Amino acid sequence: PKLLAEHRSSALFGAVVIAMLWASIFLKYVEDRNDDLVQARQTAHSFSMVFEENVIRSIDELDTTLLYFRRQIEDAGPSPDYNKILHKIDVPPDIVVQVGIIDSKGMMRASTAGRQPAPVLDLHDRDHFQTQLHATEDHLFISRPVIGRASREWSIQLSRRISYHGEFGGVVVASLNPDHFTKFYTRVDLPFSESIALIGEDGIVRAAGGTARDHRMGENIRGTPLFTVMRAGVNRTFELRDAQSTPARIVTLRRVGNLPLWVMVSLNKDEVIADSLRGFRIAAAGGLLLTLLILAAMEFMFRTEDGARQKSKQLEATSRAMARLASEDALTGMLNRRGFQDALEHA
């Protein structure tokens, strides 16, 4: 502290150098961190768009199949051969668990699952039947994940209403394998863990996947901040941290076309900024070393300057002592002739 007080200008210069060093390290970290976050948001946005397109394409393909079967049934009249109609086309087994036909009383009359011909099952209590039974207009219904009574597997039921001259004639249903939506994304090699989910407007998760798997199939997210954002009805990319999402995650929510579905992609924020934080730690270690070197150099400079000042003072004192001795008598201490003449001239 004493040396700093005696060398204020040099100390100030050293402090400015150290401050500039640490400011540059911190600003570089902030820049790298922001770049990582921007890139992560773009990744989540692009990922969600691909996910949305995959969902739309898959559901459109199944809906086209349902419409085809329905047309065949309605054209065949009130007593169609359900099994014959159902086996006219091949259904991809990796996407569809089964395709079935349910009559107006809720009894399944034909199915592509299990032994053939399929046994009659009572499905009148299922949502995909009840919704179409009480529907006032033709629409595609997408159910919550359920275990099929014919297939014995988890599936999402897609159904269309069958009508005979305006009267309810039953339901044609396709059971979609939920893993179809997410199994591809589980293999995507991202530098950080991701979580994806297909969520209905009712807050029930239809499908979930990714390496992080923040959600599970059938989970109810109503009452969570994620559901609140979804209810706003706007596609968004935002940062989410709540009791169910620790650490913070970068989340993108997108509505799936005109369907009552949303796709969600989330990335671990800590993993996103891990590289920039690692770089900051390395830079901080180097900055600390440079700071110590600067402080050591400042102390050496201060002590060198202090030593030079002390020598200068000693030389001045020696010079004054020699001048005094040259002007005084060594025995009496009084001015000698030279001293007297100098004093006289000065007077």
How confident is the chain (347 residues) per 10-residue block, as mean pLDDT?
A: 61 84 94 93 90 89 89 82 79 78 89 79 89 90 85 86 87 88 68 84 89 83 90 90 72 92 91 91 93 85 73 76 71 76 83
Query: What tokens does 214 get?
Result: 């923040």
How far CA 335 is from CA of 103, 144, 344, in Å, comes to 139, 118, 11
Query: Measured on CA atoms in the order 187, 189, 194, 196, is the torsion positive or negative?
Result: negative
Say whether 173 sits in a helix, a strand or coil.
strand
Question: Which residue pairs, CB below 8 angstroms and at least 24 apart, start in 144-147?
Answer: 144/200, 144/202, 144/204, 144/206, 144/218, 145/178, 145/204, 145/205, 145/206, 145/207, 145/217, 145/218
Helical packing angle, 8-75 and 274-327, nearest 10°: 170
Return d(Cα 252, Cα 247) in angstroms, integer: 16
Cis? peptide before 247, omega within 30° of 0? yes
CB within 8 Å of 128: residues ≥ 6 apart = 141, 143, 157, 158, 159, 171, 173
How far CA 21 is from CA of 32, 94, 291, in Å, comes to 17, 59, 8
**Which secondary structure element, helix H or strand E, spans residue 261, and what is its range?**
strand 261-268
Q: Is there a contact between 206 and 219 (Cβ–Cβ < 8 Å)?
A: no
129-186 residue pLDDT tens: 999 999 888 899 999 888 877 777 788 899 999 988 778 889 999 988 888 877 766 6
Question: What is the model's pLDDT at position 198?
Answer: 92
